[in-house]
Copies of this chain bind each other. A is one copy, B any other.
Amino acid sequence: MNSITHYLHNELPRINAFLEAQTARLDPVVRPAAEHVLGAGGKRLRPLLALVAARALGCTADPYPMACSLELLHSATLLHDDILDAAVMRRGRAATHVEFGRTGTILAGDVLLALANRLVADYDIPRLNAVLSEAILRTVTGEVMEIANVRNTAMSEERYYEIITGKTAYLFQGACECGAILAGCGAATERAAHDYGLNLGIAFQLVDDALDYVSPSEITGKPSGGDLREGKMTLPLILYLRTLPPDARQKLETRIAQDDLDAEAARAIADRVAASGCAEATRDAARGYATLAAQALEAFPASPERDLMADMLDLVLSRNK
Contact = CB atoms under 8 A, between A and B. Distances in A.
A109 to B, nearest CB: 8
A42 interface: no
B111 A84 contact: no
Interface string A105-124: 01101110111011011111
Interface stretch (A134-142, A252-260, A261-269, A313-321): A134-142
Nearest to A79: B106
A126 interface: yes
A177 to B, nearest CB: 13
A84 B102 contact: yes
A144 interface: yes
Contacts of A101: 85
Contact of A130 (B103, B111, B121, B137): B121
Contacts of A110: 76-77, 80, 109, 113, 136, 140
Interface string A136-152: 11001101110110000
A143 B114 CA distance: 14
B29 A103 contact: no
Contacts of A59: none
A106 B89 CA distance: 14
A106 B121 CA distance: 24
A28 interface: yes
A241 interface: no
A102 B125 CA distance: 35
Interface residues on A, range: 35 or more
Of A77, A89, A117, A143, most buried by chain B (CB within 10 Å of CB) is A117
A248 to B, nearest CB: 31
A117 B28 CA distance: 26
Interface in A151-188: none
Given A80-B106, A85-B103, A102-B85, A121 B113 contact: no
A16 interface: no
Contact of A114 (B107, B124, B133): B133
B84 A83 contact: no
Given A118-B137, A126-B126, 4 more contacts: A84-B106, A85-B103, A89-B103, A115-B137
17 contacts: A28-B148, A29-B145, A89-B103, A103-B147, A107-B140, A111-B141, A113-B114, A113-B136, A114-B134, A114-B136, A115-B133, A115-B137, A117-B129, A117-B133, A120-B129, A125-B126, A126-B126
| 3 closest Cβ pairs, A-B complex | A117-B133, A121-B130, A114-B137
